[in-house]
Structure 1
């Protein structure tokens, strides 16, 4: 993965995890954005506290970098309960999960990230644990194997997934509260950046925050990462003040354009328009044209291009919209996909 791709990737790297620990809000009141989810979650937690019981299990879905892990930590904080963190890929066997469940304290919050990637044996054990707070430990093998029931303390499971469609229905149905995390609006990201700049000691006026926010692909993690890179630029090549012009110059240097597209995004659009006349073109052919693996184009670049209305998936292949032609400063042909939209002439 190239440096510019790392910069606008919504996945967290080791450096992000260290910085995010300092920037994470600690309570629902400090959490910015996701207003509907915050309100719903607040009611769930307050109701549980009034009853003196563990709240329903919580499932959060949405793209990486939108705050699922942060909300899991906030849930534990609001409940005044310990938090245990693991991930779906780490639970390869039922015994791995049983070892965690059997040591949970009453009321503890268990957070499983990427829960859709759990192994099937662990997943099936989780069904019983979520419903009856019990696990069956199998002793022995073959015909002589016996299942020993083990009571576990009531707990709250918080699951996070970037691909809710991969969750099996029996698991999804056992969550009492499901929340979908949406991408952030520019004004919400400006508030995220204002808070982060205060914590990092960065001089960030409103116009500089707006410039970074609108290039952040609707994702707080990316916004905070771009802020740190712009901070480096401001400290090395200026006086540390991040104005709109300075933010634009820094992000242009890092190949993040005004709409948040990076080098790979623009390469995909350029190939689609200049080599294939706007499409339709197959994924494999498009990937060869930009020198990348098909999976990289499909998973890394394409979702954002589709969300921005620059590329459309059709049964015949990928097609560039009128917005794609205009974004690259080219005149769309009369029969271009999306030309009928009133704002397609830009």
Structure 2
């Protein structure tokens, strides 16, 4: 039994039906049930959902496996969830692996040798596969066969291995790192976008019903507005606000409770967390707004360079608080305003370290 996420909230008994009966009362089971199970339940990503619906319905009418699917986009937007939905919509088993786990062609050959007709193979972070495994995957995707090499050197023998038709679902946060020949073998490519606050509010409302949390309209909007456009973060913040409401209030999440809880967990009104604000404070207070090199900035906030580049910087750039320039990172007037600081006068000399 499903409900239309575009019309109204599901009744509570429908939400509870998403959890296995023998798992009632098990909090982990409720949290696992937060993922939508069908395309009808999926909130947001309207264009991707419509396109994917056509691809899957056409495959079912032809009684064939769907084309291979590539899902790209930032973390937390639902790539894994969509892979599970594809498996469910096609009533096919889902096999899950990841790019870093496939470092040799033999690793991929072992996975493909266990594939059955119609299976969905989900490869997360597919851009991190090794080059030999990628080249083996080309033939598997296109011709549904692989050549298994036995032995080494001049005596090596290639044995062709036929594999059943399957659907590969690849997920990547960095589509630009995928080689062209691999991208071209996907019949359908979807770019997931960040969610609007209204869409996140619907997700929070649905998740609250599954977790049996009483959330007011204003409370849900407060959580959604601080979720950085990402459903995974919205669900995580909902669970933390629920904890606060149960321990320090009467269990109801209203705007005031959500505001106090998220302030306690260092998530401000725009969704910036401790690391984001530390980067902005260092950039503005210690380095006069920049330009400054990212390595220097990372040392200033006691984090690794990769942490600053991959976790804080993309969100700060998207919010218009930070700009990347050839000379280094620069704080925008919006960053100074958000911190309640006065921006330096234009044309002030740069005396900051670059790297």
- 1:186 alignment partner, one of 194, 197, 202: 197
336 and 21 in structure 1: CA distance in 2 versus 1, 3 angstrom threshold = farther
Do structure 1's residue 290 and structure 2's residue 301 form an aligned pair? yes
CA distance in 2 between counterparts of 1:123 and 1:240 reads 51
Output the TM-score relative to the length of structure 1: 0.90
SS at match of 1:112: strand
- Report if aligned partners of 2:288, 2:344 keep a CA contact under 8 Å in 1: no
Q: Distance in 1 between matches of 2:166 and 2:295?
A: 46
Question: 2:184 matched to 1:173?
Answer: yes
**Is the CA contact 2:30–2:210 (under 8 Å) kept in the aligned structure 1?**
no
- Counterpart contact for 2:109–2:146, Cα < 8 Å: yes
Flag the 1:163–1:17 CA change in 2: closer, same or farther, 3 A: farther
For residue 322 of structure 1, what is the aligned residue in structure 2? 333
Unaligned runs of 5+ in 2: 1-26, 349-355
CA distance in 2, matches of 1:178, 1:264: 33
CA distance, structure 2, for counterparts of residue 219 and residue 265 of structure 1: 16
1:149 paired to 2:160: yes
Match of 1:82 in 2: 93
Runs of 4+ more than 4 Å apart: 16-20
Q: 1:273 to 1:336 in 2, by over 3 A?
A: farther
Q: Aligned-pair distance for 1:295?
A: 2.2
In the superposition, relative to structure 1, how do residues 137 and 278 fare at CA in structure 2: closer, same or farther (>3 Å)?
same
Q: Is the 8 A contact 1:69 1:160 kept in 2?
A: yes
Match of residue 203, structure 1, among 207, 210, 214: 214
Counterpart CA distance in 1 for 2:96 and 2:347 is 49
SS at match of 2:160: strand
Does the CA-based 8 Å contact 1:105-1:155 persist in structure 2? yes
| Equivalence for 1:161 | 172
Does residue 57 of the first structure (1) align with residue 68 of the second (2)? yes
Contact 1:321–1:336 (CA under 8 A) maintained in structure 2? no
Alpha-carbon contact 2:316-2:322 (below 8 Å) kept: yes
Deviation at 1:336, TM superposition (A): 8.6
Q: Distance in 2 between matches of 1:225 and 1:137?
A: 44
Which of 40, 51, 54 is matched with 2:51 structurally? Answer: 40
Aligned to 2:103: 92
Give the whole-Å Cα distance in 1 for the aligned partners of 2:295 and 2:81. 37
Alignment deviations for residues 18-70 of structure 1 (CA, whole Å, 9 cap, x no partner):
76522111100001111110000001111111111111100000111110000
SS in 2 for 1:153: coil
For residue 191 of structure 1, report the CA deviation from its aligned partner: 0.4
Distance of 1:47 and 1:197 partners within structure 2 = 34
| TM alignment of 1:1-346, pairs within 5 A | 20-333=31-344, 335=346
CA distance in 1: counterparts of 2:30 and 2:291, whole angstroms? 42
The answer to whether the 8 Å contact 1:271/1:290 transfers is yes
Deviation at 1:220, TM superposition (A): 0.5
Unaligned segments of structure 1, at least 5 residues: 1-15, 338-346
TM-score by length of 2: 0.88
Cα distance in 2 for partners of 1:102, 1:288 equals 47
SS of residue in 2 equivalent to 1:23? coil
Instruction: Determine the C-alpha separation between the residues in 1 that align with 2:122 and 2:271.
Output: 31
